[in-house]
């Protein structure tokens, strides 16, 4: 089984204070693609 890492980024901080923000949407889209390909996600790291 292939393992995949998820990397999300946003060039500005606009909208990051929302409960569901663009980074969440990117992560969910990546997780859905990984699952559709029968790969394994090794997670995504959060940067402080």
pTM of the entire predicted model: 0.74
Instruction: Provide the residue range defining the domain that includes 26.
Output: 1-8+18-48
pLDDT at 48: 43
pLDDT at 23: 92
Let me know if residue 2 belongs to a domain: yes
pLDDT tens digits, one per residue of 26-39: 999 999 999 999 99
pLDDT tens digits, one per residue of 1-48: 788 899 999 999 998 899 999 999 999 999 999 999 999 888 666 554
Question: What sections of the chain are H helices per DSSP?
Answer: 22-36
Let me know if residue 36 belongs to a domain: yes
Contact status, residue 27 vs residue 6, Cβ threshold 8 Å:
yes
Let me know if residue 44 belongs to a domain: yes
How many domains is the chain built from? 1
Q: What is the maximum span of the chain, computed from C-alpha positions, in angstroms? A: 37
Let me know if residue 13 belongs to a domain: no
Let me know if residue 37 belongs to a domain: yes
Coil, strand or helix: which one is 13?
A: coil
Angle at 39 (CA atoms; ends 33, 45), nearest 5 degrees: 75
pLDDT at 42: 83
Let me know if residue 42 belongs to a domain: yes
């Amino acid at each position: 089984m292939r393992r995949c890492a998820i990397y999300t980024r946003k060039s500005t901080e606009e909208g990051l204070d929302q409960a569901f923000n663009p980074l969440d949407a990117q992560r969910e889209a990546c997780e859905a693609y990984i699952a559709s390909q029968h790969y394994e996600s090794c997670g995504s790291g959060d940067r402080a």
